[in-house]
């Protein structure tokens, strides 16, 4: 007969917990899984992880989304058994958790009409998101320190015993996994010889010491980090050199490099999210260490598309680190993304994060900003298509993809006599969608707090133990939210063209423009030519750039008036991921000359690909018109340079000078592609010859040949800058 405790340990532990409290039930499921999950030693990878055992579970607990059901795992388990009672037991467990599947609950917070806002790529809300646990603290105090901290604050919050007992079960779970790995190492050591015996002995000694105590060397630090990092899922390592640098600094050079190499391979295989190096502290001191340089060196040598690598810079960043970063970019992997402390930290401080913590910011996911180990804010709470808001303003709330009334009613644009009326209508549509995102996201956040408690994250993020509140239920110190934007440059281009030709020059009427857009410019050749070729953002054109600045300021400031369920405000940035072409496709014809079903849309806060024609200085001058000190989420700025120029000392020096100037003037981030247009075109035509060609997409890097064709076209169309 099937042993459900062995087959579905998390589900078994959850169901058979001796308390009704959900936090406790989840933690008991995690502990039962730790006791019963199938474990094996993988000596080829050195560092051990139970991550693969989750893939076999019909019911699992995910880092972001709470309870998830795995249909494939259920079917696989069903195939192993023939007894009716066994099959019924497996089906029972699956059906038992169906009502508790968090994402299913989240989907119910939207009305049918609101759901169409998401289907038609107008906006969406309620993403699960990423996190950055405090690996520095965990490594430094070990589980013994975590236990002491739990008991200290239990006394203060003496009505929260279920919560603190749940945290202790989570601590038990990681200690149980470590003890089981030690037992496996000891057992295999009895017959092992040579290098295998050496590694097994090292693992046995390591698991006899960690996770209870602080690691004694970089090998132990890597193993302890990897254990915590992968217990439930993989995510973002965050400030990696800050957390791990002390263990790297004084270790044997050959051994620490070998450990980093093994860990890097694991990062790549698991497609680890954002790893951040380099930073300043609140006093402006540089915090670079040996590990900072070696991470860049490893990325340079491996030339992988993962992990997603970010480097922070500031006025005191050593020239040697700038050089190392530029040499890594020159390989063509699109990394590191470079972030400016002098922009990000003030932006965070403006929403209440003190300097001591703002300088602990890091990125997760593609490029969302988080406070390392202290927040639940570096995630995707929503996304808004700024250009869709203009479409709604032009057609009184009607979507030109589905032809349904999805936006707000802001009046018949044919009757607008002044440009200010169109701008007011556009801003009301932005506010309509922003209100929807904030309302829906908060409803989702509240469901997560009740239905997806995360005791595992609660022991690793500061504030939870101290407050006696779960990670999902306002426990972390900071609970701001982040919303992404699509199509800001396209909107500025469109509004500028309308202002010039309709309201300033009066060459066309609003009625003519509306009719032209409805007819996809058919029969309006002259109008199409004029609007298509009018000034575009990214060329240092004041008429377009001033509109870009106004609409950016409005959307960023308006969202910050909205409060989150988690106790913060909604911040805004730009991280298009791979969605820009799809958002473009879901728009009708636009006043910037985009025709219906064309997919080209801006992939960052920079120009729509191919529209910047006056060089990198003009492009950055335009971008700097927008107040990036308002961006509390990653504000992606993409640029492309040729390999022939970038791979020279003069080219790299010119890039460093350009980047420093951009950051000095208030730029937040730069993400760089070093690739030729000819190479991209050949890769599209002959993918078999370019399997290792990597490009920067919209916050992450990926092998070019794996991208869908519309996204390939978007990247090919990006202007190639010269310096």
Task: Give SS3 for 82.
Answer: coil
SS3 content of the chain, % helix, strand, coil (to 5): 55, 10, 35
Structural domain contains residue 441: yes
Q: Among 569, 592, 613, which residue terminates a domain?
A: 613
CA–CA distance, 591 with 474 (Å, rounded to integer): 44
Task: Give SS3 for 364.
Answer: strand
Structural domain contains residue 223: no
Q: Which of 485, 497, 722 lies closest to 605, judged by CA?
A: 485
Structural domain contains residue 169: no
Which of 119-123, 249-253, 574-578, 625-629 is predicted least confidently? 574-578
Section 343-369 average pLDDT: 95
Q: Which of 391, 434, 431, 435 lies closest to 413, judged by CA?
A: 391
Measured CA angle at 557 (ends 531, 569), to 5 deg = 135
Per-residue pLDDT at 149 exceeds 80: yes
Q: Alpha-carbon torsion 264, 577, 478, 444, what sign?
A: negative
Per-residue pLDDT at 675 exceeds 90: no
Strands 368-371 and 701-703: unpaired
Structural domain contains residue 134: no
CA–CA distance, 367 with 306 (Å, rounded to integer): 14
Q: Alpha-carbon torsion 669, 261, 230, 176, what sign?
A: negative
Between residues 179 and 235, the one the model is more confident about: 179
pLDDT class for 690, splitting at 50, 70, 90? Answer: confident
DSSP assignment of 231-284 equals: SS-----EEHHHHHHHHHHTS-HHHHHHHHHHHHHHHHHTT--EEEE--B-TTS
Q: Are 722 and 644 in contact (CB under 8 A)?
A: no
DSSP assignment of 291-342 equals: HHHHHHHHHHHH--S-SEEEEEE-TT--HHHHHHHHHHHTTTS---EEEEHH
Structural domain contains residue 445: yes
Q: How far is CA 423 from CA 390, 477, 554, in A?
A: 9, 38, 11
Q: How far is CA 609 from CA 188, 283, 492, 638, 715, in A?
A: 57, 39, 14, 10, 7
Which of 14-23, 330-339, 560-569, 684-693 is predicted least confidently? 684-693
Give the pLDDT confidence score for residue 127 in this predicted structure: 65
C-alpha 78, offset from chain centre: 36
Per-residue pLDDT at 86 exceeds 70: no
Secondary structure element (H or E) that encloses residue 177, with its range: helix 161-189
Q: Among 613, 647, 667, which residue terminates a domain?
A: 613
Phi first, then psi, for residue 592 (nearest 5°) are -85, 0
Per-residue pLDDT at 126 exceeds 90: no
Give the pLDDT confidence score for residue 691 in this predicted structure: 84
Phi first, then psi, for residue 385 (nearest 5°) are -90, 105
Give the pLDDT confidence score for residue 704 in this predicted structure: 86
Section 7-16 average pLDDT: 91
pLDDT class for 722, splitting at 50, 70, 90? Answer: low
Looking at residue 123, what DSSP letter applies?
E
Q: Which of 486, 482, 450, 488 lies closest to 469, judged by CA?
A: 450
Whole domain around residue 461: which residue ranges? 375-613
Q: Which of 48, 68, 49 lies closest to 58, judged by CA?
A: 68
The token duo for 436 is 């929807």
Between residues 81 and 550, the one the model is more confident about: 550
Predicted confidence (pLDDT) per residue in 12-63, tens digit: 999 999 999 999 999 999 999 999 989 999 999 999 999 888 777 888 787 6
Structural domain contains residue 475: yes
Number of domains in the chain: 2
State the number of CA atoms in the 13 A half-sphere of 118 facing the CB. 17
Per-residue pLDDT at 384 exceeds 90: yes
DSSP assignment of 579-603 equals: -HHHHHHTS---TTSPPTT-----S
Structural domain contains residue 47: yes
Predicted confidence (pLDDT) per residue in 652-668, tens digit: 999 999 999 999 999 99
Give the pLDDT confidence score for residue 63 in this predicted structure: 65
Give the pLDDT confidence score for residue 1 in this predicted structure: 60
Which of 387-396, 436-445, 501-510, 518-527 is predicted least confidently? 436-445
The token duo for 61 is 């607990």
Q: Are 577 and 700 in contact (CB under 8 A)?
A: yes
Predicted confidence (pLDDT) per residue in 530-578, tens digit: 999 999 999 999 999 999 999 999 999 999 999 999 999 999 999 876 7
Section 474-494 average pLDDT: 95
CA–CA distance, 69 with 520 (Å, rounded to integer): 44
Phi first, then psi, for residue 15 (nearest 5°) are -65, -40
Structural domain contains residue 634: no
Q: Among 79, 108, 125, which residue terminates a domain?
A: 125
pLDDT class for 292, splitting at 50, 70, 90? Answer: very high
pLDDT class for 253, splitting at 50, 70, 90? Answer: very high
């Amino acid at each position: 007969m099937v042993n459900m405790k062995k087959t579905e340990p998390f589900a078994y532990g959850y169901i058979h917990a001796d308390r009704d409290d959900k936090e406790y039930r989840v933690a008991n499921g995690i502990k039962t899984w730790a006791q019963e999950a199938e474990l094996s030693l993988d000596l080829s990878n050195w560092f051990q992880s139970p991550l693969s055992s989750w893939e076999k579970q019909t019911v699992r607990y995910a880092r972001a989304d709470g309870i998830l059901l795995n249909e494939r795992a259920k079917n696989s388990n069903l195939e192993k058994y023939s007894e009716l009672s066994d099959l019924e037991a497996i089906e029972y467990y699956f059906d038992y958790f169906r009502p508790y599947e968090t994402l299913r609950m989240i989907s119910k917070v939207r009305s049918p009409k609101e759901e169409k806002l998401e289907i038609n790529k107008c906006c969406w809300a309620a993403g699960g998101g990423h996190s950055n646990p405090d690996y520095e603290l965990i490594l430094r105090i070990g589980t013994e320190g975590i236990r002491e901290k739990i008991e200290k604050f239990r006394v203060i919050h003496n009505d929260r015993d279920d919560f603190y007992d749940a945290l202790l079960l989570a601590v038990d779970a990681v200690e149980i996994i470590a003890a089981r790995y030690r037992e496996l190492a000891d057992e295999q050591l009895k017959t092992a010889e040579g290098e295998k015996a050496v590694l097994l002995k090292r693992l046995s000694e390591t698991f006899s010491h960690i996770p209870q105590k602080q690691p004694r060397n970089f090998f132990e630090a890597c193993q302890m980090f990897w254990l915590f990092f992968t217990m439930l899922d993989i995510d973002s390592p965050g400030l990696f050199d800050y957390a791990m640098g002390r263990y790297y600094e004084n270790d044997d050079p050959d051994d620490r490099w070998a450990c980093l190499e093994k860990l890097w391979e694991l990062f790549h295989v698991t497609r680890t999210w954002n790893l951040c190096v380099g930073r300043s502290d609140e006093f402006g001191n540089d915090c670079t260490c040996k590990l900072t340089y070696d991470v860049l060196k490893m990325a340079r040598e491996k030339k992988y598309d993962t992990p997603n690598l970010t480097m922070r810079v500031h006025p005191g960043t050593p020239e040697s680190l700038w050089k190392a970063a530029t040499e890594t970019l020159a390989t063509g992997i699109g990394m590191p993304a470079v972030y400016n402390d002098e922009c990000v930290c003030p932006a965070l401080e403006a929403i209440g994060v003190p300097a001591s913590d703002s300088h602990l910011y890091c990125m997760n996911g593609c490029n969302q900003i988080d406070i390392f180990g202290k927040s639940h804010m570096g995630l995707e709470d929503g996304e808004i298509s700024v250009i869709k808001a203009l479409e709604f303003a032009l057609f009184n709330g009607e979507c030109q993809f589905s032809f349904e009334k999805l936006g707000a009613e802001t009046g018949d644009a044919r009757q607008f006599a002044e440009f200010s009326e169109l701008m007011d209508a556009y801003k009301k549509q932005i506010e309509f969608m922003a209100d929807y995102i904030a309302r829906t996201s908060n409803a989702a956040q509240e469901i997560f707090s009740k239905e997806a408690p995360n005791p595992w994250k609660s022991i690793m993020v500061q504030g939870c133990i101290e407050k006696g509140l779960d990670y999902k239920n306002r426990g972390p110190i900071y609970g701001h939210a982040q919303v992404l934007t699509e199509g800001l440059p396209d909107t500025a281009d469109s509004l500028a063209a309308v202002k010039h030709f309709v309201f300033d020059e009066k060459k066309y009427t609003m009625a003519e423009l509306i009719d032209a857009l409805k007819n996809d410019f058919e029969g309006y050749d002259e109008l199409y030519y004029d609007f298509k070729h009018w000034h575009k953002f990214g060329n240092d054109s004041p008429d377009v750039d001033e509109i870009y600045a106004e609409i950016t300021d409005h959307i960023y400031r308006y969202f910050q008036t909205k409060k989150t369920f988690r106790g913060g405000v909604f911040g805004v940035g730009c991280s298009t991921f791979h969605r820009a072409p799809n958002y473009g496709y879901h728009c009708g014809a636009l006043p910037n000359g985009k025709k219906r079903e064309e997919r080209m849309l801006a992939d960052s806060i920079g120009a729509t690909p191919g529209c910047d024609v006056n060089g990198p200085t003009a492009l950055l001058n335009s971008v700097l018109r927008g107040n990036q000190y308002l961006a509390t989420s990653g504000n992606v700025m993409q640029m492309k340079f040729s390999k022939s120029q970038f791979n020279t000392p003069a080219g790299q020096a010119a890039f460093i000078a350009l980047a420093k100037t951009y950051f000095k003037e208030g730029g937040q981030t730069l993400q760089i592609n070093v690739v030729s247009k000819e190479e991209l075109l050949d890769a599209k035509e002959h993918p078999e010859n370019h399997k290792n060609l990597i490009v920067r997409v919209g916050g992450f890097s990926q092998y070019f040949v794996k991208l869908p064709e519309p996204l390939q076209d978007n990247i090919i169309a990006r202007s190639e800058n010269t310096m």
